[in-house]
Amino acid sequence: MEENINTVTHNWLKEEIKKDWICVDATMGRGNDTYFLAKRCQKVIAFDIQQEALNATQKRCDGFNNIQLHLLSHDKMEEVIKEKVDCILFNLGYLPHFDPSVITKPKTTSNALIASWNLLKKNGILIIVSYIGHPGGQEEHEAVKQFVNTHSRCIKTYTYQTKENAPIAYYLKKES
Ligand SMILES: C[S@@+](CC[C@H](N)C(=O)[O-])C[C@H]1O[C@@H](n2cnc3c(N)ncnc32)[C@H](O)[C@@H]1O
């Protein structure tokens, strides 16, 4: 049985994350990543374009006072983040159990990845989970690959070996 891709990215982060970190969840969705980060770091700044995602994340993270949720496209993150951050996580695609036509798109994703790179501290971590199986997923993955190939060194990747069009996770460190 292969390990779930989100468990893998969380395990990558568990090895590095520190209590004083400022983290960004670029796609809050159902709030699983925001919750994971909020339990372990000083502050999480999270983005989504759907009210449903914001509500779900608020509910998932009930009781946490170290999260800032923004109903805003992630390519505009520099409008609200005015400090350098330690880690940024993208879990692309669509909101599970909701409208599958509302997806992350190549152009906004590329711009958001560039904005993320500007915001990361030296040695900051960028994790991208790119889904390929849905309509538009392949095109978005091309944009993700283009970014990964031209920015720093990709330290780790993970995908399922036994599935066609399996999602792929990338782990990048901003080394300079
Ligand atoms: C796979 S889900 C994220 C899963 C989530 N991180 C979790 O832990 O549950 C992808 C999310 O990206 C959101 N999204 C789509 N376009 C976006 C954009 N331009 N900016 C921010 N979020 C976007 C969707 O609304 C959806 O909720």
CATH of the domain at 52: 3.40.50.150
CB distance 25 to 92 below 8 Å: no
Mutate to test the pocket of ligand 1, among 7, 48, 75, 168 (most ligand atoms within 8 A of CB): 48
The label of the residue with tokens 């392949």 reads 138
Distance 43 CA to ligand 1 centre (A): 19
Instruction: Please work out whether the CB of residue 47 comes within 6 Å of at least one atom of ligand 1.
Output: yes
Mutate to test the pocket of ligand 1, among 5, 28, 47, 127 (most ligand atoms within 8 A of CB): 28
CB distance 23 to 46 below 8 Å: no
Taking all residues of the chain, what is their mean pLDDT, rounded to a whole number?
95
Give residue 11's domain range.
5-173
Please give the tally of structural domains in the chain: 1
Q: Whats the size of the chain, residue-wise? A: 176
pLDDT of residue 75: 98
Average pLDDT over residues 129-146: 95
Give the pTM. Answer: 0.97
**Helices of type H across the chain:** 5-14, 32-38, 51-60, 106-119, 137-150
Mutate to test the pocket of ligand 1, among 104, 105, 107, 108 (most ligand atoms within 8 A of CB): 104
Q: Which of 60, 85, 90 is nearest to 74 (CA)?
A: 90
CB distance 42 to 54 below 8 Å: no
The pLDDT-based confidence of 163 (bands split at 50, 70, 90) is confident
- Give yes or no for residue 153 having a pLDDT over 90: no
Q: What is the pLDDT of residues 73-123, one digit of tens each?
A: 999 999 999 999 999 999 999 998 899 999 999 999 999 999 999 999 999
Q: What is the pLDDT of residues 14-42, one digit of tens each?
A: 999 999 999 999 999 999 999 999 999 99
pLDDT of residue 93: 95
In angstroms, rounded to a whole number, what is the distance separating the alpha carbons of residues 137 and 167?
Answer: 9
The pLDDT-based confidence of 162 (bands split at 50, 70, 90) is confident
Nearest CA to ligand 1 atom 5: 29
- Give yes or no for residue 176 having a pLDDT over 90: no
Distance 48 CA to ligand 1 centre (A): 5
Cα dihedral sign for 47, 88, 156, 147?
A: positive
